[in-house]
Amino acid sequence: MLDGKKMLFSGMQATGNITLGNYLGALKNWVNLCDEYECFYCVVDLHSITVRQEPAELRKRARNLLMLYIAAGIDPEKNCLYYQSHVSGHAELGWILNCFTYMGELNRMTQFKDKSAKHADNINGGLYTYPVLMAADILLFQSDVVPVGADQMQHLELTRDIAQRFNNVYGDVFTIPEAYVGKAGARIMSLQDPTKKMSKSDENPNASIYIMDDRDTIIRKFKRAVTDSDTRIIYSEDKPGIRNLIDIYSVASGKTIAEVEKEFDGKGYGDFKLAVGETVADVLEPIHKRFDELSKDKAYVDGIIKANAEKAGYIANKTLRKVQKKVGFPERIR
Ligand code: TRP
């Protein structure tokens, strides 16, 4: 609790290009949560180095992601937007929690299995203990709720188990976090294979709309989106491509599924795809504009980074000191 508000924590990796799926499924929904919660949105750069990164590129992407948080409408005065690497407590608590996590648990993590298959030449310890660092992120802020996608649910479950285990030994140290279930966040699928999720790590650039794509690119990608050989624009199980486009159009325009079906009754896929492209481009336009302004205002963004890292660090340290004391580390002499 801070100022009578419950704590909410989430994070995103700065690797890969942020997609429309990330925006409609996460970022957009984060904007108003600060009315109800004390929100911390972290750029999780420590997690990023579990796979090899080009340093200059990582630095640039991390800053861009932080600016994108702001450009997407998350108010940096009302939310704490910061880099994980600026708050050393993440790594310090991560170490301690490693000692409270079993290899058997980590062996079961499906994301580890997927990622080690993908990066077979670099299956490092960090990739293996990635979920423990994520647990540290969440527990450091005594988070009550964590908005996460289905793919991160297993990590959140593990976080709860670690917290329980620690509390059983040392008393009530950590708040046990829960998944934030708000209004169903949109699940946006790949434009090239609508049976899988739109992903920032997809190798085919036509599969994803990147949040920074320009209007022409957006319209072209929607035009090429994989659909079926039918012609009707209806929301149906056996039309995953059209269903995905209806979902996107619905969230982007604020219209219900039924309204969308009605609007395009009797019209063809071509008209529909163009409308989806234009609507999405309209939604992203103000974000691009704001991002552009932020890119040109280094002093302002630097100020946000400094102030928010301090705020996050202060709160993180409170938990960290308590944990260090509980496990038996010697008192600091002042
Ligand atoms: N692992 C998350 C992902 O890849 C990112 C993340 C890191 C995170 N720490 C977190 C999400 C803490 C929520 C809470 O999506």
Backbone angles phi, psi at 249, to 5 degrees: -60, -40
Q: What does the pLDDT read at residue 187?
A: 85
Mean residue pLDDT of the chain comes to: 95
Does residue 3 have a pLDDT over 90? no
Q: What does the pLDDT read at residue 136?
A: 98
Q: Ranked by mean pLDDT, which of 3-17, 22-36, 293-307 comes out on top?
A: 293-307
Better pLDDT: 85 or 119: 85
7, containing H or E segment: strand 6-12
Place of tokens 């409170």: 318
Give the active site residue among 200, 255, 318, 322: 200
Cβ(136) to ligand 1 under 6 A?
Answer: no
Residues 101 and 99: their CA atoms lie apart, in Å, by: 6
**154, 111 Cβ separation under 8 angstroms:** yes
Q: Whose CA is nearest to atom 6 of ligand 1?
A: 11
* Active site annotation includes 28: no
Q: Identity (one letter) of the amino acid at 62?
A: A
Q: What does the pLDDT read at residue 12?
A: 95
**78, 118 Cβ separation under 8 angstroms:** no
Atom of ligand 1 nearest to the CA of 148: 13
Atom of ligand 1 nearest to the CA of 44: 7
Q: What does the pLDDT read at residue 183?
A: 64
* Residue 328 Cα distances to 166, 257, 318, 322, angstroms: 13, 57, 16, 10
Give the active site residue among 197, 221, 239, 273: 197
Does residue 184 have a pLDDT over 70? no
What value does the CA radius of gyration of the chain take, rounded to a whole number of Å? 21
Residues 260 and 246: their CA atoms lie apart, in Å, by: 7
Cβ(213) to ligand 1 under 6 A?
Answer: no
Task: Pick from 7, 134, 162 the residue to mutate for probing ligand 1's pocket: most ligand atoms within 8 Å of its CB.
Answer: 134
pLDDT bucket at 185, cuts 50 / 70 / 90? low
Atom of ligand 1 nearest to the CA of 147: 13
Q: What does the pLDDT read at residue 73?
A: 98
- Give the SS3 label for residue 10: strand
Q: What does the pLDDT read at residue 98?
A: 98
Cβ(11) to ligand 1 under 6 A?
Answer: yes
Q: What does the pLDDT read at residue 201?
A: 85
Cβ(137) to ligand 1 under 6 A?
Answer: yes
Cβ(146) to ligand 1 under 6 A?
Answer: yes
Distance 276 CA to ligand 1 centre (A): 30
Distance 159 CA to ligand 1 centre (A): 11
Cβ(140) to ligand 1 under 6 A?
Answer: no
Cβ(152) to ligand 1 under 6 A?
Answer: yes
